Amino acid sequence: MPVTSLLNLLENPSSSNKTVNEYGETLATKITQEQKRLTEDEVVLLISEYKASKSTYVLAEQFGCHRVTVTNILKRHGVPFERKAQNGMKPNAFAKKFVIKI
């Protein structure tokens, strides 16, 4: 952080949502990122698509949230967790696709 910005924060602490501690480190006092809240209809759709073999990565992108959020929703609703390949296929099915039979 430039010295002028640091001095400005020290002189006008209310002009920002950040504060500076005694070591000159900037600390956030307010998180400004909005949280994604899925509606009940979206949760039902998410669960059904997960059960239809979509991966948490694909669902997170589809619903505009983080994959951990998807996993937490599934856990909260008692959905058994299965490892899936990123393309949405189950790992065994994905591996079988590339097995060469002799």
Query: Band of the pLDDT at 59, cuts 50, 70, 90?
Result: very high
Q: Read off the pLDDT of each residue in 26-46 and give the average, rounded to a whole number.
A: 82
C-alpha span between 45 and 49 (Å, rounded): 6
Q: Is pTM beyond 0.85 here? A: no
Query: Band of the pLDDT at 60, cuts 50, 70, 90?
Result: very high
Give the residue among 90, 92, 28, 30 at the shortest CA–CA distance from 55: 90
Provide the percentage of residues in the chain whose pLDDT is more than 70: 59
> 3-class SS at 24?
coil
The per-residue pLDDT for 35 is: 75
Is 93 a residue whose pLDDT tops 80?
A: no
Query: Band of the pLDDT at 39, cuts 50, 70, 90?
Result: very high
